[in-house]
Structure 1
Amino acid sequence: MGEEMSPEVQKKVEQLQDWINKQPHLPKDIEDKIARRFLHSCYYDMDKTKSTVELFFRLRDTSPELINHRDPLSPPMQKVLKIVNLAQYEISGKRNIWFWQLNDPGLEQYDHLQDARMFIMLFDAWILNNTEFAEEDIVVLDTKDINLKFITKFNVSVARKIAKYQEEAMPIRLKQIHILNAPPFIDKLFGLMKPFLKAEITAMVHFHVPKSDTIFKYLSKEDLPKDYGGTRPSMAEMNKEVLRIVMEQRETFLDENFWKTEKKSKGTKNEVATFRTLDID
């Protein structure tokens, strides 16, 4: 069940939709619930919301490598979906948890670009499906299978774009980031990302070494999957629900004009729209 809109929120949604419809560079098929999500993530500050909307949709026209080729049944996407478990669920206090667990010892199958493409696809599926509005979003990453080989898999261009997207374009209220099973060399790996992250984001990051219980200072057992000493279903079980939601949206992901300004016809080579001034890089 979605939350009812107060008259004040409804008015803000109408104002935002009116503004979007007047912008020639923005798509015109944005549902009210999506517009409201952007407003909610920005605490209903209209100017900040407009900037977030601009950046969110700019990515779709300037970064085809992250947005195109998103058929969840394609071999490349199936490959990454088999080595990553994901979960997204609500906990007490109207908070959302976003959980990422890699299951690829040796990083033999891992592809940084494909992981990023999958991440954006899953987030799109979530905002298309979800009608609840959390007060806080928490990200939990399990790095048990991450080793120094990750450096050879790291794509600087992808990392820069994803960092920009996560910090300024995703319509969520990010408050905490937890790194579980952090290896001794995590400082080296974190150092790869730090140049792309704002200080307020790096301040949200908390590292938890293997076999520690420090995560329970922030989250209770009722908030965590069985895999981590919690009472929630296992990551494998919750991942099935994530994949179900993705498959429900498969037809959307097959449409490479979805949420695009410059519509692409079959056979065209021009996949990147010219957006006003913004440069993702």
Structure 2
Amino acid sequence: MYSPTVPFSEYLQGEQLKYPELTRDAIETLKKSLANDNLPPITDKKYLAFLHSCYFDLEFAKKTIQKFYGFYSDIPEVFQVLDPLAQEIETNYKCVSIGQMPSVNTDKSERFLFVQLKDYDANLFEYSSIFKYLAMWMDHTLLRYGTCDSIIAVVDSKGLNWRHIIKLPVLLCRQMLLFLETALPIRLKSIHVLNTGSTTQMLMKIIMRFASKELHEKIKLYSPGSEEIFSYVPRKVMPVEIGGLGKSHNHYNDELYNHLIDIRPIFLERNETLNNHRMVQNQPLILENE
């Protein structure tokens, strides 16, 4: 586990203990390959994350970074306004429980992301806020715990109703699915959706028509009351509310929310950097003789 502001040299040493393939030479080669792409400033920790998520394939990592920052540019309303103290994020925290298990990750073993509704009132529910929350979670898990073998997401869809479906921003969801498929700085292994009644199945049918075959294969649905999930994730880390032996989902939700607030200055600084880069990119060309 790292301090979020730990120097890169120390961060790199810790990550190399997990993955010796993460060499400084490889990271420098990756940086040089993107030198002419006019991307916003990218930290060495982020380069390392992409090199790892792409299984140390330099060309694959280069293309993934290009796509990643393409989405940052195309969806600024999600990626360039990240603030854990924003009102919409506070509302999301009260409405949707999002947490990482186990709480402390000191090695490269799998990590588990758990999501479920806390408040079933669809008036409080906003898809864009969830996307922002998850974007901040990705930064948090990489800064605090570094890379890992894979991420497994578990979504309990209990409480989802038709009012949640009619709020679905189809275009934004389509963009975020493409981001999920092609631009992640983490290794996403699978997504497990619990309590999939008729409403959840309808929502998944709408969303998944935009998904690739590869993403389809990563998603598994479970009927209400099924305990098959514990064939894929250890019961000992799952929240008690779904039959696990871990703590309440509220504990994990509170923990992550407080961690995001702790690194708020990092998000605000990045927002400013990205917005400044966008402003420069959008400036009209000024000729010297004008």
TM-score calculated relative to the size of structure 2: 0.82
**For the Cα contact (< 8 Å) 2:160–2:200, is it kept in 1?**
no
Q: 1:26 aligns with which of 39, 42, 50?
A: 39
Task: Sort the Cα spacing of 1:256 and 1:3 in 2 relative to 1 into closer, same or farther, 3 A.
Answer: closer
Whole-Å separation in 1 of the counterparts to 2:282 and 2:176: 19
Whole-Å separation in 1 of the counterparts to 2:195 and 2:219: 14
Q: Does 1:251 align with 2:270?
A: no
Q: Secondary structure of 2:36's match?
A: coil
For residues 234-245 of structure 1, what are the structure 2 equivalents within 5 Å? 234-245=248-259
- What amino acid is aligned across from residue 51 of structure 2 in structure 1? L
Identify which range, 121-130 or 148-157, moves more after superposition: 121-130
Task: Sort the Cα spacing of 1:111 and 1:200 in 2 relative to 1 into closer, same or farther, 3 A.
Answer: same
Q: 1:177 aligns with which of 177, 191, 202?
A: 191
For 2:15, the equivalent position in structure 1 comes to: 3
**Which residues of structure 2 form unaligned runs of 5+?**
2-13, 284-290
**For the Cα contact (< 8 Å) 1:61–1:272, is it kept in 2?**
no
Identify which range, 60-69 or 157-166, moves more after superposition: 60-69
Q: 2:159 aligns with which of 120, 142, 145?
A: 145
- Structure having the higher helix fraction is 2
TM-score calculated relative to the size of structure 1: 0.85
Whole-Å separation in 1 of the counterparts to 2:244 and 2:225: 14
Q: Does 1:59 align with 2:74?
A: no
**Which residues of structure 1 form unaligned runs of 5+?**
265-269, 275-281
Q: Secondary structure of 1:144's match?
A: coil
Q: 1:155: Cα distance to partner?
A: 0.2
Q: Does 1:108 align with 2:120?
A: no
For 1:278, the equivalent position in structure 2 comes to: none
Q: Does 1:68 align with 2:80?
A: yes
For 2:132, the equivalent position in structure 1 comes to: 117
Q: Secondary structure of 1:79's match?
A: helix
Q: Does 1:98 align with 2:110?
A: no
Q: Secondary structure of 1:59's match?
A: helix
Aligned-residue CA RMSD (Å): 2.5
Whole-Å separation in 2 of the counterparts to 1:256 and 1:39: 21
Q: Secondary structure of 1:233's match?
A: coil
For 1:232, the equivalent position in structure 2 comes to: 246
Q: 1:42: Cα distance to partner?
A: 0.9
Whole-Å separation in 2 of the counterparts to 1:260 and 1:64: 9
Q: Secondary structure of 2:83's match?
A: coil
Identify which range, 48-57 or 214-223, moves more after superposition: 214-223
Task: Sort the Cα spacing of 1:238 and 1:185 in 2 relative to 1 into closer, same or farther, 3 A.
Answer: closer
Q: Secondary structure of 1:108's match?
A: helix
**For the Cα contact (< 8 Å) 2:80–2:271, is it kept in 1?**
no
**For the Cα contact (< 8 Å) 1:34–1:128, is it kept in 2?**
no
Q: 1:97: Cα distance to partner?
A: 0.9
Task: Sort the Cα spacing of 1:7 and 1:148 in 2 relative to 1 into closer, same or farther, 3 A.
Answer: closer
Q: 1:70: Cα distance to partner?
A: 2.6
Task: Sort the Cα spacing of 1:23 and 1:81 in 2 relative to 1 into closer, same or farther, 3 A.
Answer: farther
Q: Determine what percentage of the aligned residue pairs are the same residue.
A: 27
For 2:89, the equivalent position in structure 1 comes to: 77
Q: Secondary structure of 1:140's match?
A: strand
Whole-Å separation in 2 of the counterparts to 1:197 and 1:241: 32
For 1:267, the equivalent position in structure 2 comes to: none
Per-residue CA deviations over 1:136-168 (Å, capped at 9, x if unaligned) read 221111111111222211001210111111111
Q: 1:125: Cα distance to partner?
A: 2.7
Whole-Å separation in 1 of the counterparts to 2:54 and 2:128: 28
For 1:279, the equivalent position in structure 2 comes to: none
Q: 1:273: Cα distance to partner?
A: 5.6
Q: Does 1:222 align with 2:236?
A: yes
Per-residue CA deviations over 1:158-180 (Å, capped at 9, x if unaligned) read 10111111111112222211001
